[in-house]
């Protein structure tokens, strides 16, 4: 009888583990960029612990702003690929983890971490 209880408990635990969704992968750290607002002011944008494997359109430099972002700094623990267009389209450039950065000549509107 005890063996049946142990087997039932083990099977129950296995079912719970299988049903529990895994935590979403995320890059740890901060990604920063600069941009000019529609009103003409210089601003900074940042992403804290951004999700991995998902394209992120950057705030302030989307289709509503004719000026793209610039001067990205990748301070996360993952590679960041920045794109000149929204939805991770257009020309791209990869920034290494922790120390990756570029000058204001690199224009960007979206990023993906992997």
* pLDDT at residue 24, as a whole number: 57
Q: What is the pTM of this model?
A: 0.76
| Each residue's pLDDT tens digit, 56-76 | 999 999 878 999 999 999 999
Extract the residue ranges of the chain whose pLDDT is less than 50.
Answer: 1, 3-23
Assigned CATH class of 29-113: mainly beta
pLDDT at 2: 53
Q: pLDDT at position 17, please?
A: 41
For residue 79, the model assigns a pLDDT of 97
Segment holding 35, helix H or strand E: strand 29-36
- The per-residue pLDDT for 23 is 44
Are 61 and 108 a contacting pair, CB within 8 Å? yes
CA atoms within 13 A on the CB side of 74: 23
């Amino acid at each position: 009888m005890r063996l049946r209880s142990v087997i039932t408990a083990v099977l129950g635990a296995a079912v719970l583990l299988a049903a529990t969704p895994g935590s979403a992968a995320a890059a740890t750290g901060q990604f920063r960029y600069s941009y000019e607002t529609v009103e003409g002011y210089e601003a900074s944008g940042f992403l804290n612990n951004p999700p991995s494997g998902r394209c992120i359109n950057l705030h302030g430099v989307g289709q509503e702003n004719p000026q793209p972002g610039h001067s990205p700094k990748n301070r996360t623990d993952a590679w960041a690929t920045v794109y000149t267009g929204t939805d991770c389209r257009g020309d791209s450039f990869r920034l290494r983890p922790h120390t990756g950065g570029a000058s204001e000549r690199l224009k960007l509107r979206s990023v993906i971490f992997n």
